[in-house]
Amino acid sequence: MTGHRRCAPCAVPPHILERIARNGNDEQRARALSTMAQDSSHRSVRVHNALMRSVQRPATPPRLAPTSGPRRTIGDAKESEDLPGTTVRAEGDAPVADVAVNEAYDGLGATFAFFLDAYGRDSVDDDGMGLLATVHYGDHYENAFWNGRQMVFGDGDGELFNRFTVSLDIIGHELAHGVTEDEAQLMYLNQSGALNESLSDVFGSLVKQHLRGQTAEEADWLIGEGLLTDAVQGVALRSMKEPGTAYDDPVLGDDIQPAHMDGYVRTTTDNGGVHINSGIPNKAFYTLAVALGGHAWERAGRIWYEALRAPQLRPNATFRSFAAATSRQAQVLFGPEETQAVRDAWASVGVPV
């Protein structure tokens, strides 16, 4: 069993849940502890699935045709932990009365459309994989995750977290973990794990920007927009524009993401701080996107996407090796202006290229 499979990517980092368990009221603490226990169970399932994939890739529903578009199925767990739950909306069905079902359906569609339109990618696996999501998972479950086969959304507690389908960038973030897993199998540990998380933040933000037609300057660069309730002193789970500023709340604590290698956090928790140190490559991408201007998915995003797919990228990639991969891709795809902008962006966060 390898270390890079020990943690299932989830929307809410463990250090936030741990703070709620320490600082919240009795109900908040109980829900945070319950969510942490469930997340631990998900990690065990994730390890099993990863080991099975190393032997044989799991079967997926047959493709209809290369141009058939997304094949979405939304299940309702009805506050249980049974997956995938009862099917409540399938591809082509009209919207239903349940807003979470419709948000999940639309979010899966927006993510599929982004990867297809921007990079010609046919679903998560680039082979027409059907997109499955389950809503209303667990009793006030305070998270969302990709388990290697499908998306799962909790409803939040209504006090600190809204329903997790409300945030399109979270949906894009979690599905992007599937893309990273398919392309590079980055170890979910230390810097490679932080890159894994950062890549999901990058593509999650780009999904939202693509749907809204926003330029890099117009985008908010928030991850988890709309997820925090009005009772929380914060705007999102993370800010790619200004890591370390997304929230400062008596229950959630302060945002501890660094924006530069000078603040790199060395820890044994959170698989070596994968949700914390991702702020460094996040800031590098934001800096590049704004420097290049226009729609961030066209040049900055394309460079990051092709670096992810480059055969030279190793599962144990560091910030520096990924930075070098982005510099190479900028040279291949574009030219000296973009290449220098990539190097400047990484230099601005203390990562030499």
Residues with a catalytic annotation lie at: 174, 275
What six digits make up the tokens of 216?
């890099």
Tell me the β-bridge partners of 152. Answer: 134, 145
**Which residues have CB under 8 Å from 116's CB, separation 6+?**
122
Tell me the β-bridge partners of 161. Answer: 228
Peptide bond into 70 cis (omega under 30): no
Residue 223 backbone zone (phi > 0: left; psi -120 to 50: alpha; other: beta): beta
Supply angle C-alpha 172, 174, 178, rounded to 5. Answer: 105
Is the distance from CB of 66 to CB of 128 less than 8 angstroms? yes
Q: How many helices (H) and strands (E) does the chain have?
A: 10, 9
Is the distance from CB of 230 to CB of 158 less than 8 angstroms? no
Distance CA 150, CA 315 (A): 22
